[in-house]
Amino acid sequence: MRLVLLGPPGAGKGTQAAILSEKLGVPAISTGDLFRANIGQQTALGLEAKKYMDAGDLVPSEITNNMVKARVAEPDAVNGFLLDGFPRTVDQALALEKILADLDAKLDGVLAFDVADDVVVERMLARGRADDTEDVIRNRMRVYREETAPLLDHYAGTVVTVDAVGEVDEVNARALAALGK
C-alpha cells in the first residue's frame, strides 16, 4: 500500500503516520523527520534544510525530491509506504509521479487530515518544537494555504478527507475507515 498523508502543519500527520505504519505494516516516511535527523547529524543536507525550517519555509524541492527518491528505494519500502509531509507542492506531486513510475508503482490513496486553524495552532504551541513559535507557525500556515492546499485539487477524485479533530484514536479509526479497513 502506498499512501500520501496531507494536511496543514500540526494536523497530526506524523502522529497518524506512526500508528498507521504499525497497523498496515509499511514504513512511514516523514520528510520533516528525515530533515530533523540530518540536522541532528549535522550533515550538509541538514544544515541547508535548517535555514528553511527555522523560518517555516519549504526546503527547496530539488533537495526534498532527491531525499524521498532515495528513501523509497530502500528495501523496507518495497511493498509500500506512507508519505507524511510529502508532497507539499504540486511540483513535488509531479516529481512523486515520476519516482513511482520509475519503481513501476502507483499511489493507492491520499488522505487529507482536516482541522481548523485555531486547533492546529494550539497543538503546535503545546508541542513546542523549535519551529513551533507563533511567527514561524503563522508562516507555515501561509505556506500551507498558498503551496500545499492546491494539492487537494491536484488529487481531486482520489483524495479522501478525514476529520482530524478529536482524540488520536478516534482520528485513527476514521483514517482506517477511509481506507476501508
Residues annotated in a binding site for AMP = 31, 36, 57-59, 85-88, 92, 129, 140
Closer to ligand B4P at the Cβ: 104 or 143?
143
Does residue 81 interact with ligand B4P by CB under 6 A? no
Q: Does 179 bind ligand B4P (CB under 6 A)?
A: no
**2, 29, 64, 151: which one contacts ligand B4P (CB under 6 A)?**
64
Is residue 133 part of the contact set for ligand B4P (CB under 6 A)? Answer: no
- Using the rule CB under 6 A, is 92 a contact of ligand B4P? yes
H helices, E strands: number in the chain? 9, 5
Minimum gap (Å) between residue 47 Cβ and ligand B4P: 14
In the bound state with ligand B4P, the residue whose beta carbon lies nearer, of 7 and 71, is: 7
Do residues 5 and 84 lie in contact, with contact meaning Cβ atoms separated by under 8 Å?
yes
The single residue among 6, 20, 35, 50 that binds ligand B4P, judged by CB under 6 A, is 35
- At 9, list the grid cell: 502543519
Burial 11-46 (b: 16+ CB within 10 A, else e): bbbebbbbbbbeebebbbbbbbebbbebbeeeeebb
Question: Within its chain, how far is the Cα of 31 from the centroid?
Answer: 7
Terminal Cα distance for the chain, rounded: 12
Q: Grid coordinates representing 15?
A: 502522529
Residues making up the binding site: 10-15, 31, 36, 57-59, 85-88, 92, 127, 129, 140, 166
Give the nearer residue to ligand B4P in terms of CB position, either 26 or 132. Answer: 132
